Chains A and B, each alone.
Chain A
C-alpha cells in the first residue's frame, strides 16, 4: 500500500470529521484534501472493490434512480458504497470512497454505486474504470454550467469510453441521445416504455433532441411519452429506437403497480412515485440491477419496500397541513411535476414555488419561460400561488404572463415566513411545495427545526 494513499485517506476522514464537528455539511473538503495528498487516491480505492463500480449519470432522475438501485442492491446482501448525499462531482466521489470505512483504509465493499454529474464523467471514467454506466436522459439543464446539450452528451460519451472491456452499458432506449451512446464494444441493456396504450402528451415541453444523432435529419415519432422520449425512427438513414430488454408494458396508478418485461418474461413490481418520468427512473433502476446480476425476486421484494428520498415527491405533515414536496430544476421536470400535482390534487389547490438562482440551482432563470404554465394554469384549480426564493419576482412575472390574476399570487423572497403563512392559510388541506435545489435545502432545514423531518448526516 502506498504511504501517500494511506495518508490521503486518513486526512480526508479527519477533514470530514472536523467539518461535521464545525457544523458544515462539507462533502467536498475531504475529497479535496485526499486528492491533494494523493492524486491517484480515487483510482486506488476503487480498484480495491471486489466487483467494481456503477456510475449513474444523465440530466433528470439520477438521485431517485440511485436511491432505488441502492435499496435493491442492499437487499441482495452485497456490501455497497454510494454517495447518498448526492455529492456527485469528482471531489464528492473521492470523499465517498475515502470515508467508506472507519478503521480500514481500503473499502471492504463489493461494489460502489455512484451518482455522477455529466461533466464529471470523463474524469470519473478515467480514474475509476467503471464496470457499468447507466444513463437516464439528456435534457437542457443548467446550461449556464455546461454550455450546450451536445457538450453534455460528449462528456458522457467520453466517460463511457473508459468502461472495462467486459463491462455493461445501461441505456434509455427511448431517448435518442442516450441510445446513440452504444459503443459497439460493450454489452448494452436497453430499457424503455413499451406501453400499448397511447399516452397523451401533456403540455408543451421544451424539445431538445429531435434530430437523428447519426445523420441530423428530423426524427419521426410513432409514439411519444414525454418531451423527446418515445418510439422514434429516422426516415432518412433508417436508424431507430433499439428494442429494450427491460420494457415497461403497463402501469396502474390506483393499484400502484407496474408490469415490466425483463428479457422476455413479465414481472409485476410495486410503483409508488407518480409520473411517467418516475416510470423511467424505476425502469433504469431495474435494468441497472439486472446488469449487477441481482435476482429478479430480490428486485421485486425490495421495490415493494422502497420509499422515496426527501423532497422527491414526498409528503410531510406540518400540523394539520399536508406538505407535498417535489424538486423542480428544469422545464421538462417542472412540467412533469405540475402534471403530478394535477393527478394528485382533489378540488382546489394551493401551490408554493420557490426559485433560487445559486450555482447549484442554475444561475439563469430563463428556463421558467420554457415551463408550460399557459397549459397548466388552465388545468390546475389553484386558489393561491405562493412564490418565494431569491427570484420570487421572476416567478411572479411568469405567472402573470400565464394569465394568473394578481390577487391569487403572494410573493415574498423570505422562504420560511412565506411557508409559515401558506401552511397557516391552507389549514387542513394540501400545500404543494415546489422548490429548486438550494430552496429545497432551506425548506428541509426549516422542517427539521420544526421537528417534522429527521436530521440526517450529509457527506
Chain B
C-alpha cells in the first residue's frame, strides 16, 4: 500500500439503511478529512453492485427499518465473508444499530425468527419487550479524550457480547446493548458496532478522528492528524453529557 494520503469511505446501502440521520457520520468523516486537505470520496454501494475493495479505506453502514433491513440482509450475507476477512485484516468499520446487529452472529426478530448475521462481531441480538429510546452517554475504553461518547438510541433488540468482543463503553445514561450489563456497543479489531445515532460522529469528533487515524495508518500514514478547532462539536457533546449528571 502506498502512503499517499487519501480517505475513501464505502457507504453500504445508503438508500435502505439510513434511518436516523446516519449519513451525518459520513458527512462528518469526509469533512474532517477535507479540512485537513486529505482527498476524500464516498463510495456508495447498493444491492448487487460491485465493490473495488482496494480503493476502500473505511466502511460505514447505518440502521434501517425492519422491512428495509430484511431486503438487504441476503446481499449483505453474500458479501459477508469478503468483508469479514478485510475487517480481520484491520480495515476500520463503523456499524450503527441495524448494521451492528447484522455484523454479529445472529439476531432474533420480535416474532422469534432467528436470522443469521455476517458473524464477524462476537455478539448476538435477542428481541426486547419494549424499545430502548433516549439519550445515551457512555465512558469508552478507547484511547481518546474525552472518554465520553454521546448519542441517541432507538432499538428494539437487546445485544449481548461474547468473549471475542469488548464493549465500546459503559453507560452512564441510557440502556446501551441490553439494559442489563451496563455495556454499550462492541469493539473488535478496528470495527466499532454501536446503537448510537445522533448523529454520532458530528458530536463525537474525537471518535471521528480515531477512525480517520486508523484508516490512514492502514495506508502507512502515521503522522498525527492536524488538530481542528472543535468548539461547536464539543458544545453539542456537552449538552448531552450534562444530562447524565442530572439524571
> Does chain A have a CB within 8 A of B140?
no
Report A-chain residues with C-beta under 8 Å of the C-beta of B199. 366, 369
Q: Is there an interface contact between A210 and B15, defined as CB atoms closer than 8 Å?
A: yes
Task: Determine, out of A50-58, A255-263, A391-399, the stretch whose residues face the partner at the interface.
Answer: A391-399
Q: Is there an interface contact between A396 and B65, defined as CB atoms closer than 8 Å?
A: no
Q: Is there an interface contact between B19 and A143, defined as CB atoms closer than 8 Å?
A: yes
Tell me the count of chain A residues lying within 8 A, CB to CB, of chain B: 32
Report A-chain residues with C-beta under 8 Å of the C-beta of B71. 211, 216
Q: Is there an interface contact between B232 and A147, defined as CB atoms closer than 8 Å?
A: no
Report A-chain residues with C-beta under 8 Å of the C-beta of B239. 390-391, 393-394
Partner of A143, one of B24, B134, B154, B203: B154
Q: Is there an interface contact between B31 and A369, defined as CB atoms closer than 8 Å?
A: no
Residues from 400 to 425 in A contacting B, C-beta threshold 8 Å: 400-401, 406, 411
Report A-chain residues with C-beta under 8 Å of the C-beta of B23. 369-370
> Does chain B have a CB within 8 A of A364?
yes
Shortest B39–chain A CB gap in Å is 17
Q: Is there an interface contact between B232 and A397, defined as CB atoms closer than 8 Å?
A: yes
Residues from 187 to 213 in B contacting A, C-beta threshold 8 Å: 197-199, 202-203
Interface of A is mostly: helix
Q: Is there an interface contact between B20 and A397, defined as CB atoms closer than 8 Å?
A: no
Report the bound CA distance from A207 to B19 in whole Å: 10
Tell me the count of chain B residues lying within 8 A, CB to CB, of chain A: 33
Given known A363-B134, A397-B233, A401-B31, contact A148–B21 (CB-CB < 8 A): no
Q: Is there an interface contact between B233 and A364, defined as CB atoms closer than 8 Å?
A: no
> Does chain A have a CB within 8 A of B235?
yes
Q: Is there an interface contact between A365 and B198, defined as CB atoms closer than 8 Å?
A: yes
> Does chain A have a CB within 8 A of B57?
no
Q: Is there an interface contact between B197 and A364, defined as CB atoms closer than 8 Å?
A: yes
Contact with A along B127-164 (1 / 0, CB 8 A): 00001011100000000000000001010100000000
Partner of B232, one of A207, A365, A400: A400
Q: Is there an interface contact between A363 and B198, defined as CB atoms closer than 8 Å?
A: no
Report B-chain residues with C-beta under 8 Å of the C-beta of A391. 236, 239
Q: Is there an interface contact between B152 and A366, defined as CB atoms closer than 8 Å?
A: yes
Shortest B129–chain A CB gap in Å is 13
> Does chain A have a CB within 8 A of B8?
no
Contact with A along B27-47 (1 / 0, CB 8 A): 110010000000000000000
Contact with B along A125-151 (1 / 0, CB 8 A): 000000000000000100110011110
Report B-chain residues with C-beta under 8 Å of the C-beta of A211. 67, 71
Report B-chain residues with C-beta under 8 Å of the C-beta of A365. 152, 198
> Does chain A have a CB within 8 A of B49?
no
Report B-chain residues with C-beta under 8 Å of the C-beta of A394. 202-203, 236, 239
Partner of B20, one of A207, A216, A364, A390: A364
Q: Is there an interface contact between A150 and B152, defined as CB atoms closer than 8 Å?
A: no
Q: Is there an interface contact between B198 and A366, defined as CB atoms closer than 8 Å?
A: yes
Contact with B along A142-171 (1 / 0, CB 8 A): 011001111000000000000000000000
Shortest A228–chain B CB gap in Å is 11
Residues from 66 to 82 in B contacting A, C-beta threshold 8 Å: 66-67, 71
Contact with A along B72-100 (1 / 0, CB 8 A): 00000000000000000000000000000
Partner of B202, one of A206, A367, A401: A401
> Does chain A have a CB within 8 A of B18?
yes
Contact with B along A199-210 (1 / 0, CB 8 A): 000000011001
Contact with A along B10-23 (1 / 0, CB 8 A): 00000100111111
Shortest B182–chain A CB gap in Å is 22
Report B-chain residues with C-beta under 8 Å of the C-beta of A411. 232, 235
Report the bound CA distance from A394 to B24 in whole Å: 12
Shortest B198–chain A CB gap in Å is 6
Shortest B44–chain A CB gap in Å is 13
Given known A391-B239, A393-B239, A396-B236, contact A369–B66 (CB-CB < 8 A): no
Given known A148-B65, A150-B67, A394-B203, contact A367–B235 (CB-CB < 8 A): no
Report the bound CA distance from A109 to B21 in whole Å: 45
Report the bound CA distance from A216 to B67 in whole Å: 9
Q: List 12 A-B contacts (CB under 8 A).
A: A147-B156, A148-B65, A206-B18, A216-B71, A366-B199, A367-B21, A369-B27, A393-B238, A397-B203, A397-B232, A398-B24, A401-B27
* A-B contact sample (16 more), CB < 8 A, given A147-B156, A364-B20, A400-B232: A144-B133, A144-B152, A147-B154, A149-B65, A150-B66, A365-B152, A366-B24, A367-B20, A367-B21, A369-B23, A369-B24, A391-B236, A393-B235, A396-B232, A397-B233, A400-B233
